[in-house]
């Protein structure tokens, strides 16, 4: 019976025939009276998971949501589908609020959307304590956690609101942010009772993932655009300056591209955005300010000129590709410089005034940890798809067989000599430099930076000139990962020796082996699939 009802509602109110992975289970759990914590990525279809139970249960569901525009959209869509729903937020006048609550109290609505700040106002409490509430749903539930990226103090008071209710309704929480810590915070802050927890919908089988390293990124992007000349795509850069530079470069190279960042006038931004949406501009170069609320289904590729600050950012941005379910590509162009840019951006990020010194320190540490995980994605030789899925807490097979790394040939190389040379170089220069100076010295690069610091006079200069830049970077990174070197945690990221460094210089030391991706192979393999 219930089975039929769910499907019926899916069809009549939302116009769909089948549920997406995970939706039905969540709906069933809520209907059985169990609390739920569901982690689903943006666009996976969270709303249905609480809207359908809300329609099936007697009484009114209260949906807590942080974004006024989102509430308005949803209520509008529900009303158009013939569902009684309303919202209470700061966009309403006093008398509109009073009227809505009056109707709510009379049981008029199946769903009522509310901003968290409104919950504990006397009028809302009065309604909530006298109405028959079917469920409390907390949307964007990560806002509850200080470890989330959008902490909202008003979210912390949701639990106090729930405690004031005469009868505790089912509580369901939804978010796209899945880190362990954030999930724990949601569970404990909301006081969820024996909840059904699920992480679902993260896999996007039609997306191809790849990380490319080395070479000129501008040139690689130029080539990519030339090879995909009929397709629509987004190129993300970390900074406004980066957008402007790449934009000019590509324009000079004869491409018709548009750009988007927060430093442009609202009119210019709007024009760029519309050109892109209506297929007048095929490619847009943008900062992460672009894309919120943009619903363009035929984006065939999302390129990243720089590494984003977290996997959350990356997946959200890359996930704008292939919304229509057709194959699409997500390629990240990585260089170790990106980690540096990432750290600089984090250091200059403004932290809200009302945090204590200790809280700021911990927030910064969390940010750094996210950056490290992002770097891990860029440098792993393992399956990229399973890296993503595991990061978000979803089960994943070991190799997807279809990402850049799975298709690439992984090679191994004994770099014991090079590793020993790195130790000597770091030691001889007094541990004063970061990886690019050390690598540059060993490679024998002839640059002003190296000459200014007289590194061209160092005994290490040019000793590994045959290794090549990409492998040199792999060696240093592997040394840091394995504890043979340490990188300072400040923005300078200086390389320091550790107690293990000496081991690499010892006679008869174990071989130092690195594995790396044979880049050309990925290109070939991709063409075949
Ligand atoms: P989220 O809140 O997770 O970001 P939404 O609830 O806004 O995602 O849903 C994203 C889109 O997917 C919406 O257009 C929605 O109508 C659609 N959608 C949700 N569930 C289904 C389904 N079972 N079948 C087809 N489309 C669906
Ligand atoms: Zn893979």
In 81-135, which ranges are continuous DSSP H helix? 94-105, 122-130
pLDDT at 393: 85
Strand partners, 136: 62, 171
Question: Which of 47, 81, 201 has most ligand 1 atoms within 8 Å of its beta carbon, as the pocket-test mutant?
Answer: 47
Tell me the CA distances in angstroms from 150 to 43, 60, 118, 153, 175, one per residue in order: 18, 28, 19, 10, 12
Length of the chain: 529
In 230-265, which ranges are continuous DSSP H helix? 240-252
Three-state SS at 286: strand
Could you read off the pLDDT of 6-56 as tens digits, one per residue? 999 999 999 999 998 889 999 999 999 999 999 998 778 999 999 999 999
Both tokens of 60, joined, read 């009114």
Q: Which ligand has the minimum distance to the alpha carbon of residue 402?
A: 2
Tell me the CA distances in angstroms from 227 to 159, 222, 231, 298, 520, one per residue in order: 54, 9, 9, 17, 16
Could you read off the pLDDT of 412-432 as tens digits, one per residue? 999 999 999 999 999 999 999
* Residue 288 Cα to ligand 2 middle (Å): 26
* Residue 156 Cα to ligand 1 middle (Å): 27
pLDDT at 526: 43
Residue 364 host element (H or E)? helix 357-379
Distance CA 453, CA 31 (A): 69
Distance CA 422, CA 427 (A): 8
Residue 80 host element (H or E)? helix 68-80
Residue with tokens 């109405």: 131
Which residue's alpha carbon is at the smallest distance from atom 17 of ligand 1? 45
The secondary structure of residue 169, as a DSSP letter, is -
Which residue's alpha carbon is at the smallest distance from atom 26 of ligand 1? 16
Q: Which ligand has the minimum distance to the alpha carbon of residue 207?
A: 2
Question: Which of 11, 45, 316, 324 has most ligand 1 atoms within 8 Å of its beta carbon, as the pocket-test mutant?
Answer: 45
Nearest to 482 by CA among 464, 507, 499: 499
Low-confidence ranges of the chain (pLDDT < 50): 520-529
- Count of other CB atoms within 10 angstroms of residue 265: 8
Residue 421 host element (H or E)? helix 416-428
Ramachandran area for residue 169 (φ above 0: left; ψ -120 to 50: alpha; else beta): beta
CB 276 within 8 A of CB 232: yes
* Residue 20 Cα to ligand 1 middle (Å): 9
CB 338 within 8 A of CB 306: yes
Tell me the CA distances in angstroms from 431 to 60, 423, 437, 502, one per residue in order: 65, 10, 11, 14
Atom of ligand 1 nearest to the CA of 41: 3
Both tokens of 417, joined, read 């000599």
Q: What share of the chain is helix, strand, coil (3-state, %, to 5)?
A: 45, 15, 40
Q: Which ligand has the minimum distance to the alpha carbon of residue 78?
A: 1
In 88-239, which ranges are continuous DSSP H helix? 94-105, 122-130, 153-156, 158-163, 180-190, 217-227
* Residue 94 Cα to ligand 2 middle (Å): 55
* Residue 19 Cα to ligand 1 middle (Å): 10
In 282-336, which ranges are continuous DSSP H helix? 311-318
pTM above 0.80, yes or no: no
Helix axes 384-391, 311-318, angle to 10 degrees: 120
Question: Which residue pairs, CB below 8 angstroms and at least 24 apart, start in 260-265?
Answer: 260/284, 260/285, 260/286, 260/287, 260/289, 260/290, 261/286, 261/287, 261/289, 261/290, 262/287, 262/289
Could you read off the pLDDT of 317-357 as tens digits, one per residue? 999 999 888 999 999 999 988 988 888 888 877 766 677 88
* Residue list, ligand 1 pocket, CB within 6 Å: 16, 19-20, 23, 40, 42-48
ipTM of the complex: 0.97
Both tokens of 37, joined, read 């914590």
* Residue 114 Cα to ligand 2 middle (Å): 42
Distance CA 84, CA 161 (A): 24
Distance CA 175, CA 44 (A): 11
């Amino acid at each position: 019976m219930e089975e039929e009802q769910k499907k019926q509602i899916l069809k009549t109110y939302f116009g769909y025939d089948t549920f997406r992975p995970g939706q039905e289970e969540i709906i069933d759990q809520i209907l059985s009276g169990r609390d739920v914590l569901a982690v689903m990525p943006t666009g996976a279809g969270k709303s249905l998971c609480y809207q359908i139970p809300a329609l099936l249960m007697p009484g009114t569901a209260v949906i807590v949501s942080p974004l006024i525009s989102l509430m308005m959209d949803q209520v509008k869509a529900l009303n158009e589908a013939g569902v009684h729903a309303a919202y209470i937020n700061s966009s309403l006048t006093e008398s509109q609020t009073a009227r809505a609550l009056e109707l709510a109290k009379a049981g008029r609505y199946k769903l009522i959307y509310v901003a968290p700040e409104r919950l504990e106002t006397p009028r809302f409490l009065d309604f909530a304590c006298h109405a028959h509430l079917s469920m409390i749903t907390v949307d964007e539930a990560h806002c509850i956690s200080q470890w989330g990226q959008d902490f909202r103090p008003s979210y912390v008071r949701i639990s106090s609101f729930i405690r004031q209710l005469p009868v505790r309704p089912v509580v369901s929480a939804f978010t796209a942010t899945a880190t362990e810590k954030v999930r724990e915070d949601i569970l404990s802050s909301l006081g969820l009772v024996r909840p059904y927890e699920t992480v679902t919908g993260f896999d996007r089988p039609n997306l191809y993932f790849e990380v490319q390293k080395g070479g000129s990124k501008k040139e690689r992007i130029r080539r990519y655009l030339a090879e995909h000349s009929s397709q629509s795509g987004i190129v993300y850069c970390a900074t406004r300056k980066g957008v402007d530079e790449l934009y000019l470069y590509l324009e000079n190279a004869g491409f018709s591209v548009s750009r988007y960042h927060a430093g442009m006038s609202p009119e210019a931004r709007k024009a760029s955005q519309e050109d892109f949406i209506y297929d007048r501009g095929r490619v847009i170069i943008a900062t992460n300010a672009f894309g919120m609320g943009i619903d363009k289904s035929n984006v065939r590729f999302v390129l990243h000129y720089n590494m984003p600050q977290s996997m959350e950012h990356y997946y959200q941005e890359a996930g704008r590709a292939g919304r229509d379910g057709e194959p699409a590509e997500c390629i990240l162009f990585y260089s170790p410089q990106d980690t540096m840019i990432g750290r600089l951006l984090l250091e200059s990020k403004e932290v809200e005034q009302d945090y204590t010194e200790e809280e700021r320190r911990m927030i910064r540490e969390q940010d750094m940890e996210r950056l490290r995980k992002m770097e891990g994605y860029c440098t792993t030789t393992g399956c990229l798809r399973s890296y993503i899925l595991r990061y978000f807490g979803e089960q994943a097979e070991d190799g997807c067989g279809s990402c850049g790394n799975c298709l690439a040939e992984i090679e191994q190389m004994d770099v014991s000599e090079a590793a020993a040379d790195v130790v000597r170089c770091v030691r001889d220069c007094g541990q004063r430099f970061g990886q690019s100076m050390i690598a540059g010295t060993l490679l024998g690069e002839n640059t002003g930076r190296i000459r200014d610091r007289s590194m061209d006079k160092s005994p290490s200069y040019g000793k590994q000139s045959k290794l090549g830049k990409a492998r040199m970077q792999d060696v240093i990174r592997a040394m840091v990962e394995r504890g043979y070197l340490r990188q300072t945690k400040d923005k300078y990221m200086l390389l320091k020796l550790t107690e293990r460094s000496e081991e690499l210089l010892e006679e008869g030391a174990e071989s130092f082996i690195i594995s790396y991706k044979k880049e050309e192979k990925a290109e070939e393999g991709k063409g075949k699939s």
